[in-house]
Amino acid sequence: GQNIDQPTEMTATEGAIVQINCTYQTSGFNGLFWYQQHAGEAPTFLSYNVLDGLEEKGRFSSFLSRSKGYSYLLLKELQMKDSASYLCAVNSGGYQKVTFGIGTKLQVIP
Partner 1 sequence: DAGVTQSPTHLIKTRGQQVTLRCSPKSGHDTVSWYQQALGQGPQFIFQYYEEEERQRGNFPDRFSGHQFPNYSSELNVNALLLGDSALYLCASSLAGLGENIQYFGAGTRLSVL
The residue ranges that bind partner 1 (CB under 8 A) are 31, 33, 35, 41-45, 48, 50, 87, 89, 91, 93, 95-103
The minimum distance between CB 28 and partner 1, in angstroms, equals 12
- Of residues 29 and 48, the one with the C-beta less far from partner 1: 48
- Of residues 27 and 95, the one with the C-beta less far from partner 1: 95
- Of residues 43 and 69, the one with the C-beta less far from partner 1: 43
Question: Which candidate, 24, 50, 23, 20, places its Cα nearest to that of 35?
Answer: 20
For 48, other C-beta atoms within 10 Å of its C-beta total: 16
- In eight-state DSSP terms, residue 82 is G
The minimum distance between CB 14 and partner 1, in angstroms, equals 24
The minimum distance between CB 83 and partner 1, in angstroms, equals 16
Q: How far apart are the first and last CA of the chain?
A: 41
For 54, other C-beta atoms within 10 Å of its C-beta total: 11
The minimum distance between CB 40 and partner 1, in angstroms, equals 8
Spatial distance between the Cα atoms of 64 and 56, rounded to a whole number of angstroms = 12
